[in-house]
Amino acid sequence: MKACVQSYLALFPICLLLAAAQPAVAETVLHVAYEDKTQFPYYMGETQRVLEKPGAAVELVKLLEERIPGLQIKFSRYPWKRCLAMLETGQVDGIFNASYNEERTRIGAYPRKDGQVDPSRRLTTISYHLYSLPNADLGWNGKTFANPDLEIGAPLGYSIVNDLEDLEVSVMKVRSSMQSLQLLIARRVDAVALQSVTADFLLTRNADQLSGIVRIDPPLRTKPYYLMLSRQFKAENPELSEQIWNAVGQLRQEKLEALSQSYLSESTTPPETMVNPGEPTTTSM
């Protein structure tokens, strides 16, 4: 009996060393990129730095670390066109906020169900609106433009560019939402097509420079937005990819409204809205 006790005591330190050498959960780093422009309230700052108060979508993605053991999130910020290019080459593992676009399926992966993109696992929903100077004759009825001889500004790489081209209007592609609004004030374009969450924020914060611009209802498009994953990451981590998308959908339902409110409470009244004659007002989200 004494010999058995001595054997156990001799093995005990070795067992402790082996246990200490084994991590509880293997760590996976998810390198995620988002745009280096403000998309209020989802990400903040005209910078490539990740700010201390980074935006509601950034905070939501960071919460994936709490939902999925062993997952570590690394953020980077780039121009949106570069985010898309880096997703395609696998230089980043994911990007957000990305609307569904058939062309993008060749560069990355969306959450799917029964072969179709799964909006229940979206990160958020955003509307695009037209913005113009008062009394502009756009002829937008919610489906088509009565006036096809328009030039509309829109940010380079945004999905709305393809939507406008499908509507057979001329599109001036610009670097940012702010530049689009400045071109509108300078009367270089007839209207601009922007995500209303971003444009309304810019108009409020830059009222002295951008006064007189109005938002046109109904919206051009209302779309679900996703965390896209690279094809490389999904191929190497198929089960983890599904866990990530499931968690995004859950966090949207549980946390996004409260996260957004902390930013919205700091904002002020949105710009004036102008409804095209005969068209009902629609909400932007």
Per-residue model confidence as pLDDT tens digits over 123-156? 999 999 999 999 898 989 889 998 888 999 999 9
**Interval 98-121: pLDDT, tens:** 999 999 999 999 999 999 999 999
Amino acid 264: pLDDT: 86
Q: Which amino acid is at 66?
A: E
Q: What is the pLDDT of residues 6-16, one digit of tens each?
A: 554 455 555 44
* Domain boundaries along the sequence of the chain: 28-124+224-264, 127-222+271-275
Residue 147, pLDDT score? 84
CATH topology of domain 28-124+224-264: D-Maltodextrin-Binding Protein; domain 2 (3.40.190)
Which superfamily, per CATH, for 127-222+271-275? Periplasmic binding protein-like II (3.40.190.10)
The residue-averaged pLDDT of 177-206 equals 96
Helix axes 196-205, 177-185, angle to 10 degrees: 60
Is pLDDT above 50 for 269? no
Mean of the pLDDT values across residues 25-53?
Answer: 93
Does the pLDDT of residue 236 top 60, yes or no?
Answer: yes
pLDDT at 278 over 50: no
Predicted local confidence at residue 280, as pLDDT = 33
How far, in whole angstroms, is CA 199 from its chain's centroid?
15
pLDDT digits (tens, 9 = 90+) for 68-81: 999 999 999 999 99
CA 144 to chain centre: 26
What's the pLDDT at 13? 52
Question: Strands, DSSP E only, in the chain?
Answer: 28-35, 71-78, 94-99, 108-109, 112-113, 116-117, 124-132, 151-155, 170-174, 191-195, 214-230, 273-275
Provide mean pLDDT across the span 172-194: 96
Three-state secondary structure call for residue 216:
strand
Q: Which residues of 92-115 are buried (b: 16+ CB within 10 A; e: fewer)?
A: bbbbbbbbbbeebeebbbbbeeee
**Residue 35 — pLDDT band, cuts 50, 70, 90?**
very high
Residue 148, pLDDT score: 80
274 compared with 153, residue with greater pLDDT: 153
16-30, 129-143, 215-229, 266-280: which has the minimum mean pLDDT? 266-280
